[in-house]
Amino acid sequence: MLAILFAATALLQDVHTAVAMLLRLAALIMLALAVTLTTRPADLLEFFERLTAPLARVGVANPERISLGVSLVLRFVPEVFRRFQEIREAQAARGLKANPVALLVPLIVRTLKAADDVADAIDARCYPPPRRPSGGARTEENPT
């Protein structure tokens, strides 16, 4: 992907801009890799919940849903890469050469199927749970 972006930028703009763009993207990827390798997923999710908490107060975003989205991305990026490798190995074992369409179609189908299964699991668990009333008040009635 970086090579395609580099080539497109070099063609549409100039080589110096393409090199700068490539170095910036590579630095961002390395930084993201360093953060994900050195930070526990629970800490990262808590960070995103705190980061988006002001948006929840305004009613723009739900921090729990954003946290869930981040956790799913963290979980599925390695999974998609593993599936990519499996498909490529299976095609190589059949003697097929690298064909982007023959590789991407089964990868997209498998990824969408896994996403659908995860969405069903999330729905079955009624996520996110209903919010408690604000102010910490209990909703149970006091029998007298």
Does the model's pTM come out above 0.75? no
Computed over every residue of the chain, the mean pLDDT equals 83
CA torsion angle 58 60 65 71 (round to 10): -100
Distance (Å, rounded) from C-alpha 112 to C-alpha 74? 16
> Are 87 and 103 in contact, with CB atoms under 8 Å apart?
yes
The three-class DSSP label of residue 140 is coil
pLDDT of residue 133: 59
- Where are the extended beta strands (E) located within 11-136? none
Domain ranges of the chain: 1-38, 41-129
- Residue 120: DSSP 8-state: H
34-87 residue pLDDT tens: 887 888 878 888 888 888 888 888 888 788 888 888 778 877 888 888 999 999
pLDDT of residue 40: 86
Sign (positive/negative) of CA torsion 11, 13, 15, 21? negative
The three-class DSSP label of residue 143 is coil
